Amino acid sequence: MSTPPPEADWDNAPGVLEGARELHLTPQTCNLPYWLEHVAGSMLRRLSDGTVTAAAPIEAVRRPGPLHDALVDEFTFRTLAEEKAARALSFLVFHAPDNDCLEFFSTQLVDEARHARAFREHLLAAGVPAEEVVLAIARTAAASGAVVLDPLEEFGLHVLRDKGDFYGGVLVLTILVEGVLAPAAELSERKWRLLDPSAALVERGANMDEIRHLAVGSAVIRQYLIEHPEQRGRLLALMQEGRRLWEKLPMAEVLYRRESLFQEGLAEHAELLGDYEIWPGRRLVDTGIEERMAAAEQWSRETQEARLAYMLLDGAS
Ligand code: FE
Ligand code: FE
C-alpha cells in the first residue's frame, strides 16, 4: 500500500489549528478511491487492527461525579451534532453538481455517521450503561440540542432541502458547523488527553476527518466563486444571516455548564494532571472556565476567518 498523505496519517496529520486553516485539498483529490485507500484502508484500519490505541478513561471519569457528567454532556452533544450533519449531507449528495462532489460528500456523509457512532460508543467506555445511553442522548437533545442544534439544522435545511442550494449548503456546513465544531473538538482533545486518553483519540480521529471536510468544502466554494464571481454577494449575505443566527444561539451557556463540570472535576483530581500543558506555557490545572471557553472561541473565529478569506469571502464577519 502507498504511504498515506499526511492528513490521513495518525503520525503526521496536522492539528486542527494549522490543518483546518491552511491545508489545500479538493474534491478531485479526495474522491472515492482516495477515501477507500487512505481513510478506510489505512487510517481506520489502524484503529481496528490495534496499531493505534489509547488507554481507557481513568476511574474518576467512569464513576458518578463531575468529570463523568462533563464527558457525558459533551459526548451526547457531539453524537447529536454528528448525526444531524450526516442527515443534512444527504442533500449535498443529492444536489452534487458533478461526480467529484458526489463522491466526496458521500464520503463525508459516512464520516459523520461514523463520528456519531464513535461518540455514542465512547459513552459506554465512560461507564454509561448500555440501556442508559439512549436516555442520556435524549436528555441532551431536549436541552442543549433543542436550543442550539435544532435552530442550526433548520437554517441548514432551509438552504439545502427547501431551496436546493448546493453551494449555500456547502458554505453553511463548512463555516458554521465544521468551523465551530473542529476548534471545540481540539479543545476537547487536549482537555481529556490524560483523564480519558480514549476520548482524546476519538476526538483526534474525528478531527482528522473534520480538517479534510473543512479544506475540501472551502475549496469547493473558492472554485465556484472563481468561476461565478457574480454569486459572491449572495453567498456573503447568506453567511451574514448564518452568523446573526449563531449570535442568538445560547452556545455560551451550553459550554459554560460543560466547562463548570469539568472545572469541578479538575479541582478534585488536580494531582493526576501534574504539569500537563493544555497549550504551550499553560498548565491545564491552572486554567479556568472562561479561559478555556475564550480559547475555543478565538480558535473558531480565526479558523472561520482564514477559511472565508481562502473562499474569497472575507468581509463576511
Ligand atoms: Fe464530524
Ligand atoms: Fe465533518
CA of 213 to the centre of ligand 1 (A): 9
Residues with CB under 5 A from ligand 1 (ion): 82, 112, 115
Instruction: Report the C-alpha gap between 260 and 80 in whole angstroms.
Output: 21
C-alpha separations of 167 from 34, 279, 303 in Å: 23, 36, 19
In tens digits, what is the pLDDT along the chain, a chain of 317 residues?
A: 578 898 889 888 888 788 777 889 999 999 999 999 999 988 999 988 989 899 999 999 999 999 999 999 999 999 999 999 999 999 999 999 999 999 999 999 999 999 999 999 999 999 999 999 999 999 999 999 999 999 999 999 999 999 999 999 999 999 988 888 888 889 999 999 999 999 999 999 999 999 999 999 999 999 999 999 999 999 999 999 999 999 999 999 999 999 999 999 999 999 999 999 999 999 999 999 999 999 999 998 999 999 999 999 987 55
CA of 292 to the centre of ligand 2 (A): 22
Instruction: Report the C-alpha gap between 28 and 103 in whole angstroms.
Output: 9
Domain residue spans in the chain? 22-43+52-310
CA of 125 to the centre of ligand 1 (A): 20
CA of 214 to the centre of ligand 2 (A): 7
Residues comprising the chain, all counted: 317
Q: What cell numbers appear for 225 in the block?
A: 466563486
**Class of domain 22-43+52-310 as given by CATH:** mainly alpha
CA of 115 to the centre of ligand 1 (A): 5
CA of 109 to the centre of ligand 2 (A): 8
258 within 8 A of 251, measured Cβ to Cβ:
no
Q: What cell numbers appear for 258 in the block?
A: 460543560
Q: Pick from 104, 84, 93: which is nearest to 178 by CA?
A: 84
Q: Which residues sit opposite 282 in a β-bridge?
A: 279
Ligand nearest to C-alpha 89:
2
Residues with CB under 5 A from ligand 2 (ion): 210, 213
SS3 278: strand
**How far is residue 28 CA from its own chain's centroid?**
23
- Treating both helix axes as pointing N-terminal to C-terminal, what angle do 66-95 and 150-157 enclose, rounded to 10 degrees? 10
- The amino acid occupying position 188 is S
Q: What cell numbers appear for 118 in the block?
A: 464513535
Dihedral sign from CA coordinates of 149, 151, 156, 162? positive
